[in-house]
Structure 1
Amino acid sequence: MLLVAAALITASMHSLGVVESPVAPTTTSVAIVRTAAIVHDPATASRPVMTGGQDTVDTADLRAARGRTFLDDLVAIAPDRLAHAATEADVVATAMDHPPTAAEVTTWWSGLGSADRARLERDAPVVVGNLDGVPYTVRDHVNRAVLAAGLADPHTAASESAMLGQVRESLHRVADTPPKSLITLDTRGAGRAAIAIGDLDTAADVTVVVPGMFFTVTGQMVDFTATAGDLYAEQATLAPVAAPASGTGVAVVAWMGYRTPDLSNILSLDLAKTGAARLERTVDGIRELRDGQQPRLGIVAHSYGSTTALMALASGHMSADSLTVLGSPGSDVTNASELAVSSGEVFVGGAHWDPIAGSGYFGTDPGVAGFGSTILDLAGGVDPEDAGDLFRRPVGHNDYLKPGTASLHDVALIAVGRGDMVRDGIRQGNGRGEGVVGASPDMYLVRPQDLQPRD
């Protein structure tokens, strides 16, 4: 039944231009930054550090290296070989798929001299820009250079140019809006990208938004980033009632950091497992760079992304102050006690006429009685804190984070540490209520108005 629901949702979205194609781009190339892409003074270049008793290391050594050795070899490789070596498939795969820990990266980067850092930013931007533990200002700088070089290169494949064009448009910033940072850019295959809205280094509240099925960088990065911006704006308006935390302001990450499923693999959990590991590394990087000034960190996950987030938080490798899942098809987690989330801070939302929420396709529905979660009351109505503020009821599978919905307001309250206000406003106890439609064949018809693209 999940396949039927997914097909109908995709067809409705495609007809409205929300999904460009359920098929992932086939490009496998990695954008290469030309030497002139980043301004650099050759006079600042320094001699590579000694590694293993040698002045330099071989490219083959770098391809085979892992952990801290990989990082040291990046610095020790001959300067005239670095630019080429850092774009080899095996080296890029290590940096993006099997990287050193954020702690190793942070220690390594902080120990480098300014000349070595400048050389790495210039000649190995694809690697440096995707290592969790490298400062976000550096990652944004080099990833934007990779982006610009890829768009300017006449040899860039059309599918990759389309992907990069979406990222460039997503980064567009108008006056009086928060800054954006490109903290992940991977052009291999279907592509991956993550854009932070706000300052990850200083924000009191950091929220990572994880998307579900059919989301691709090429098809939805602009809209997904705008959705993260809507959540940022809603959280910012709640600053007067936010609970105390280390830092100031908020930051929201539009994290398309894993390949989401399409119709060819929607029934598999393999992508969720890979995505969970990537999400763990992303959160580890945020925490490592904040060190003693930890932000209040929340995960907001939609659809298949909720399965991914539940896996990550049950792995023992990642923790969060809150978890909000929306339209969840479930996971193998059977109780909130299995999750590394602060007590009482697991929330579940299911919109009216959402055929995925409460289905339990991938295991236990986190909204069932006994799971230990708080079920959001998404019927809409008046905000008890402001009688003049009326929220509408979200409808369908893709309506949860749209402006003006009760769900967006609740998600923002949870993110700023005011889950108590959400719980106090709920009229029902634990377990699914009338707000979620039970799964039955006739409920898989998704109305076009439920899937309206962004205005």
Structure 2
Amino acid sequence: MLLLAAALLTASMHSLGVVESPVAPAASSAVAVSTAAVVHDTGQTAAPVMTGGQIGIGDLRSDRGRAFLDDLATASPAVLATADRDDRVVATAMDAPPTAAEVTTWWSGLDAAEQVRLLHGAPVVVGNLDGVPYAVRDRANRAVLAAESADRRTLSGEAAMLGQVRESLVRDADGPRKSLITLDTRGSGRAAIALGDLATAADVTVVVPGMFFTVTGQMVDFTATAGDLYDEQATLSPVAAPAPGTGIAVVAWMGYRTPDLSNILSLDLAKTGAGRLERTVDGIRQIRDGAEPRLGIVAHSYGSTTALMALSSGRMHADSLTVLGSPGSDVTSASELAVAAGEVFVGGAHWDPIAGSGYFGTDPGAADFGSTVLDLAGGIDPADADDVFRRPVGHNDYLKPGTASLHDVALIAVGRGDLVRDQVQRGNGRGEGTVRASPDMFLVRPQDLQPRD
């Protein structure tokens, strides 16, 4: 067990980043607070006291579900400003929110002036509610990002986190649009950046990271990886299967706290992350009601454990699931997953000590699991004799440009998993599938541990 724990630590470590405090500090927002609020000598904003049946901060602290939304919509500017800085209110919005269906119905029932008032009055809350249109969430979260970045009171750790998010949002001249759809600066932070238009894309892919990924340490690299997948999917669009919408969207979803040295062997964070992933996917579907995109999950390492939990919960479904370098989960068969028939794929790179380890339960690449095990040995694309792919090596090589794994993942994402299954069945000169974990840690080269080339 200690040997495998060492493998998990060594093979997954891009950068330790920051270790999240056991108690998350109060949510902060530098967005201006209404002058109706009272400021004491300490500099803290006191909760406005409401009388005569008006909504007060106490109502929002105790509200849940639709009541939370309705009270938010009728709160005064002073209460909104206080709510956006109140850790209990922010925790409701981010950790135990109303359902995406409730939010979608509520938001669409507001007039334009009410929507603008909420956007400007409570951007921390509005920017993180699944079911609010993504263009609105992007505006809200960017406003918070700008305000907190400019606030001289921002601590150095949070400033570094915000810097990573800002850099991740820089758009190449010929690159896709980027939207900041999640921004949570509590503790070690959470963020999600969409490349492409989630409101119109035919194919939406959510990429879920593994352990030791933090916003402060890896958001730039992780967003760039999502961009590589976006580019690969774009090149394959001529062979894409038909789906509602047009274009592609890929979400760099750092939407849960991943394990660090203090909890590397625990599944608690995977369980919490599964719930967050369920809400994210539900939000995408609710926004696209009546014209849902083809939705795929691509999950790496501990993220695969998280995704397998979510897809076996009965609260989330996907058109495809691709897990890479998986340490397993308590799911014992693909039939337990709410994924389209034949659309569960598993990749294990050469010299990846985590893939096939079954450390957290059943290996999804096992013969009796019912998945398609990707053939990642490299070789020539049968559809294009000039397209040569290299074999991914180590635990962190799967989504790098030029790899057979990136090409296969992109094919699956655009609805052409049939091409991937065909090449696996034919053998195609590309090897014999997953290479099982080796206990020899010297097989993991230092360059395999780097986030990007």
Within 5 Å, which residues of 2 pair with 1:109-148?
109-148=107-146
* Partner SS for 1:412: helix
Equivalent residue for 1:89, pick from 87, 90, 106: 87
Quick check: 1:4–1:444 contact (8 Å CA) kept in 2? no
Gaps of at least 5 residues in structure 2 are 35-50
Counterpart Cα distance in 1 of 2:30 and 2:153: 13
Counterpart Cα distance in 1 of 2:404 and 2:80: 52
Q: What does residue 366 of structure 2 align with?
A: 368
- Report the Cα offset of residue 439 of structure 1: 3.5
Counterpart Cα distance in 2 of 1:288 and 1:329: 32
Listed one character per residue, the Cα deviations across residues 355-405 of structure 1 (whole Å, up to 9, x for unaligned) are 000000010000001111000000000000001100000000000000000
Q: What does residue 78 of structure 2 align with?
A: 80
Quick check: 2:65–2:98 contact (8 Å CA) kept in 1? yes
- Report the Cα offset of residue 411 of structure 1: 0.1
* Partner SS for 2:233: helix
Equivalent residue for 1:175, pick from 167, 173, 176: 173
Q: What does residue 24 of structure 1 align with?
A: 20
* Partner SS for 2:71: helix
2:362 counterpart letter in structure 1:
T
Within 5 Å, which residues of 2 pair with 1:139-288?
139-288=137-286
* Partner SS for 2:440: helix
Q: Work out the percentage of aligned pairs sharing the same amino acid.
A: 75
Counterpart Cα distance in 2 of 1:439 and 1:90: 44
Listed one character per residue, the Cα deviations across residues 87-132 of structure 1 (whole Å, up to 9, x for unaligned) are 2010000000000000000011011122221111111000000000
Counterpart Cα distance in 1 of 2:339 and 2:243: 16
1:77 counterpart letter in structure 2:
A
Tell me whether 18-27 or 396-405 shows the greater mean CA deviation.
18-27
Listed one character per residue, the Cα deviations across residues 19-77 of structure 1 (whole Å, up to 9, x for unaligned) are 1536336872433142399xxxxxxxxxxxxxxx9752121111000000000111222
1:184 counterpart letter in structure 2:
T
TM-score of the aligned structures, taking structure 1 as reference length: 0.91
**Count of aligned positions:** 431
* Partner SS for 2:154: coil
Counterpart Cα distance in 1 of 2:343 and 2:407: 16
1:32 counterpart letter in structure 2:
S
Counterpart Cα distance in 2 of 1:291 and 1:121: 23
Give the direction of change, closer, same or farther, for the CA distance of 1:120–1:56 in structure 2 (3 Å limit): same
Q: What does residue 11 of structure 2 align with?
A: 9
2:238 counterpart letter in structure 1:
P
Q: What does residue 329 of structure 1 align with?
A: 327
Counterpart Cα distance in 2 of 1:54 and 1:204: 50
Q: What does residue 35 of structure 1 align with?
A: 32
Quick check: 1:209–1:301 contact (8 Å CA) kept in 2? yes
TM-score of the aligned structures, taking structure 2 as reference length: 0.92
2:307 counterpart letter in structure 1:
A
Within 5 Å, which residues of 2 pair with 1:292-331?
292-331=290-329
CA RMSD of aligned residues (A): 1.9
Counterpart Cα distance in 1 of 2:241 and 2:11: 38
- Report the Cα offset of residue 264 of structure 1: 1.3
Counterpart Cα distance in 2 of 1:263 and 1:444: 21
- Report the Cα offset of residue 84 of structure 1: 1.0
2:402 equivalent to 1:396: no
Gaps of at least 5 residues in structure 1 are 38-52
Listed one character per residue, the Cα deviations across residues 117-168 of structure 1 (whole Å, up to 9, x for unaligned) are 1111111000000000000000000100000001000001111010000000
Counterpart Cα distance in 2 of 1:453 and 1:314: 30
- Report the Cα offset of residue 453 of structure 1: 3.9
Quick check: 1:121–1:128 contact (8 Å CA) kept in 2? yes
1:195 counterpart letter in structure 2:
I
- Report the Cα offset of residue 82 of structure 1: 1.6
Counterpart Cα distance in 1 of 2:191 and 2:73: 26
Quick check: 2:312–2:338 contact (8 Å CA) kept in 1? yes
Equivalent residue for 2:446, pick from 441, 445, 448: 448
Counterpart Cα distance in 2 of 1:220 and 1:326: 18
Q: What does residue 382 of structure 2 align with?
A: 384
* Partner SS for 1:181: strand
Give the direction of change, closer, same or farther, for the CA distance of 1:434–1:240 in structure 2 (3 Å limit): closer
Counterpart Cα distance in 2 of 1:20 and 1:334: 31
Listed one character per residue, the Cα deviations across residues 164-194 of structure 1 (whole Å, up to 9, x for unaligned) are 0000000001201100000000000110000
Listed one character per residue, the Cα deviations across residues 272-317 of structure 1 (whole Å, up to 9, x for unaligned) are 0000000000000000000011100000000000000000000000
2:334 counterpart letter in structure 1:
A
2:25 counterpart letter in structure 1:
T
Quick check: 2:351–2:437 contact (8 Å CA) kept in 1? no
